[in-house]
Amino acid sequence: EPEVTQTPSHQVTQMGQEVILRCVPISNHLYFYWYRQILGQKVEFLVSFYNNEISEKSEIFDDQFSVERPDGSNFTLKIRSTKLEDSAMYFCASSEAVGDYNEQFFGPGTRLTVL
Amino acid sequence: EDQVTQSPEALRLQEGESSSLNCSYTVSGLRGLFWYRQDPGKGPEFLFTLYSAGEEKEKERLKATLTKKESFLHITAPKPEDSATYLCAVQVTGNQFYFGTGTSLTVIP
């Protein structure tokens, strides 16, 4: 069964450093998403991406964040200068379509720890 | 402001004891309501999508219903393997999603 994969599973970084979180969505999916979940809190939407551009972003997704689909398979989330409060689990998701059929498949997540 | 509220926060059931989880929402431009299951340390796993009031969907011991202001996830005769956190999310105009804080379900053998 196809699945969304994410690497690394755990990333530890120093405050102020740049990190890139990687995701490989399901191959025939067209819509891609990043979410984060701070420990003990709700899942928060960050950004959705379609046709090589951002389609929606939340207030959390400020200038420190960027997303990219550098090739036909990877989807990345870059945080330019990490802060302590960026420590969270980051989930990538993909879906085949949006609207009437929008089952999102989530990856296992990357746990980001900022020291 | 768009809001999604789930209750109860935690629920302990005996195996076979049926119950319901609630998701209430105040959003503008609802496009769909989603239920997910999340096991510890894992990503959410899709269960159901509901699009219009009155809609119902079933999967094994789970049944989801939707009204104009809330959704219920009914669990019939739960088993220990149903223990997980159940998340509700709404999709609003455009392609943004808002999640509730979840209901942590524990089913005791």
Print pLDDT tens along chain A (115 aa): 789 999 999 999 999 999 999 999 999 898 999 999 999 899 999 999 998 999 999 999 999 999 999 887 899 999 999 999 999 999 999 998 765 557 889 999 999 999 9
Chain A residue whose CA is closest to B5: A42
Q: How many CB pairs under 8 A join A and B?
A: 54
What are the chain A neighbours of B94 within 8 Å (beta carbons)?
55-56
Strand pairing category for B84-92 and B96-99: antiparallel
Model pLDDT, residue B92: 82
What are the residue ranges spanned by the domains of chain A? Answer: 5-106
Residues of B in Cβ contact (< 8 Å) with A98: 95
Q: What's the CATH fold of domain A5-106?
A: Immunoglobulin-like (2.60.40)
pLDDT means over runs of 10, chain B (109 residues): 88 97 90 93 92 93 95 97 96 84 96
* Sign of the four-CA dihedral B28, B30, B33, B38: negative
The predicted structure's pLDDT at residue A72: 78
Please judge whether B97 and A45 are an interchain contact, meaning their C-beta atoms are less than 8 angstroms apart.
yes
Q: Are the beta carbons of B61 and B70 closer than 8 angstroms? A: no
**Rounded to an integer, what distance in angstroms lies between the CA atom of residue B55 and that of residue B71?**
10
pLDDT, residue B38, reads 95
For the segment(s) B3-104, the CATH number from 1.10.287.130, 3.90.79.10, 2.60.40.10, 3.40.225.10 is 2.60.40.10
Q: Where are the domains of chain B?
A: 3-104
Cβ pair B49:A105 closer than 8 A = no
